[in-house]
Structure 1
């Protein structure tokens, strides 16, 4: 392998929330670029989180990172517990002495999401839990991990969310708790960009499009191999993307020596694919957000957005 194929060799990354979906794919693609990746989550081979999916574990994610060419290290961590996060960061410091990339991808609140109800009609406990899972975890992790990241100039923070700043700014995400949860990482990236500037650090928010996560595939009754079968009932699913797409997006950012030009911005996997020239796993280049916006005023053809 060469530095061209493994541009992140020697870099230390932490993907917080890497059990499945975007987090797992980001970890694997960072590994494919040669990085050492610490992967965290609450579902292990011995314990299942409230999400209730025993089929994906952080140990498996770490093995996939290593198989891709990097080094995966699984550390069970509840990012709502500051002491667990502190122990995680101390371990990275003790074992590696540095942190180059922090990916805040903790979420796991899909099972709490209810549409079609007003804020006062929704379950308050469930709504607050969403905010804990998708916002408080990110704040705790940033607070405790950033002192290690800024020890060396050039660190990168990626806040993974749903929706770009431009899209979310003028559209209500149909559930106030979810709306707040997914807008907060965008503001975190904006604010952290200001705070990291003097240390040469970069902070961005990154969103996948309509992502075929493990949970999404289950909901549609398909697998990654036959996912197109679902378009018979839901034609718009044709613009969906695999988690590999956002994984490649973050890996491209991490490997870009000029990535600071993006700092403070909100980016989609489709935006970054156009910039860096990568494709999804099937060789296509989907633009889900472009398709969604076009669909608000017309009937776009999925083929024009893949």
Structure 2
């Protein structure tokens, strides 16, 4: 009989789980049985600078617990979900504030005594991206803010959470970014964006070397062309009619739902031999080939290959050939 909760008993922290890939990863970890602490800056009481009030960490935590119940069976009325049944716990935190991050880690230590999976999905800098200006023309404050959100916050979180993660052998650190070591060899079109999205790849390489000494694993993981809530809004579509967005951007045909990268994370975390990937940069499409999972529609979009060969390389092939 297939184990529907391969991560039962595991404790995870998804830093930056308000929406998009972070939310989907938290939910799928819960579906797989993990107890998941979800953090972010947007709550039902306050909204971050991203300005999307409808997506909150409380909602994410509720979705995690619902997925855990659906996968592992409901608890008795009034009974709290047991560790291992898939439970979401929302903790508001600005990961640029070391004291707030320290408080999150202290709570996990106090309540669980362990941390098995750390997902650094901190970002929230879409509104700062400027692909039209050279460095000498760019807004310096906006660029440095992007580095704060996508690099400095990752460093603070790893520094403060890793002491708990390495307490037991087998811990997994996942740095979520945009692109792989291979695809990010080409300039990303914005000085600050390029630095922000390349840094987590190097973080995984460096921390992989350090974690290997204590039996841990670090990787970077990228989705392909992600159909996040913000991206769907940008194209004026929903997940149900997302293909209508192809008329506005033909390369949207290779896009994937957040579920795809979330399934990639769970497959990796459930693999007892995941250390073979230590220090490397991985993609949702690449891991789908490795583990055999699919996106919600049953396809396996390989955005990395499509972008390299078609969008950049000019090969005359349809996106469907890469799904």
Q: TM-score range by the shorter chain?
A: over 0.9
Structure 2 CA distance for aligned equivalents of residues 302 and 185 of structure 1: 28
C-alpha deviation, 1:152, in angstroms: 0.5
Give the secondary-structure state (helix, strand or coil) at the position aligned to 2:135: coil
2:76 corresponds to which residue?
none
Residues 246 and 269 of structure 1 are in contact (CA less than 8 Å); yes or no, is this contact kept in structure 2? yes
Structure 2 CA distance for aligned equivalents of residues 42 and 72 of structure 1: 16
2:290 corresponds to which residue?
275
> Of 237, 253, 268, which aligns to 1:238?
253
Structure 2 CA distance for aligned equivalents of residues 204 and 236 of structure 1: 27
1:127 corresponds to which residue?
143
Structure 2 CA distance for aligned equivalents of residues 91 and 300 of structure 1: 51
Structure 2 CA distance for aligned equivalents of residues 97 and 74 of structure 1: 18
C-alpha deviation, 1:140, in angstroms: 0.2
Of residues 223-232 and 74-83 in structure 1, the stretch that sits farther from structure 2 once superposed is 223-232
1:216 corresponds to which residue?
231
Structure 2 CA distance for aligned equivalents of residues 237 and 19 of structure 1: 23
Q: Does 1:6 align with 2:5?
A: yes
What pairs up with 1:71-220 in 2 under 5 angstroms? 71-169=87-185, 171-220=186-235
1:303 corresponds to which residue?
320
Cα deviation digits, residues 138-187 of structure 1 (max 9, x gap): 00000000000000000000000000001102x10010000000000000
Structure 2 CA distance for aligned equivalents of residues 254 and 159 of structure 1: 13
What pairs up with 1:252-271 in 2 under 5 angstroms? 252-271=267-286
Runs of 4+ in 1 over 3 A off after TM superposition: none
2:75 corresponds to which residue?
none
C-alpha deviation, 1:11, in angstroms: 0.1
Structure 2 CA distance for aligned equivalents of residues 214 and 190 of structure 1: 30
TM-score computed with the length of structure 1 as normaliser: 0.98
Residues 207 and 268 of structure 1 are in contact (CA less than 8 Å); yes or no, is this contact kept in structure 2? yes
Give the secondary-structure state (helix, strand or coil) at the position aligned to 1:199: coil
Of residues 269-278 and 225-234 in structure 1, the stretch that sits farther from structure 2 once superposed is 225-234
Residues 41 and 58 of structure 1 are in contact (CA less than 8 Å); yes or no, is this contact kept in structure 2? yes
Structure 2 CA distance for aligned equivalents of residues 283 and 129 of structure 1: 38
Structure 2 CA distance for aligned equivalents of residues 176 and 50 of structure 1: 22
Structure 2: give runs of 5+ residues left out of the alignment. Answer: 69-85
Cα deviation digits, residues 63-101 of structure 1 (max 9, x gap): 000011110000000000000000000000000000000
Cα deviation digits, residues 3-36 of structure 1 (max 9, x gap): 7110000000000000001100110111110000
What pairs up with 1:4-83 in 2 under 5 angstroms? 4-69=3-68, 70-83=86-99
Residues 150 and 199 of structure 1 are in contact (CA less than 8 Å); yes or no, is this contact kept in structure 2? yes
Residues 263 and 293 of structure 2 are in contact (CA less than 8 Å); yes or no, is this contact kept in structure 1? yes
Structure 2 CA distance for aligned equivalents of residues 24 and 79 of structure 1: 16
Question: Number of paired residues?
Answer: 304
Structure 2 CA distance for aligned equivalents of residues 173 and 276 of structure 1: 29
Structure 1 CA distance for aligned equivalents of residues 200 and 317 of structure 2: 30
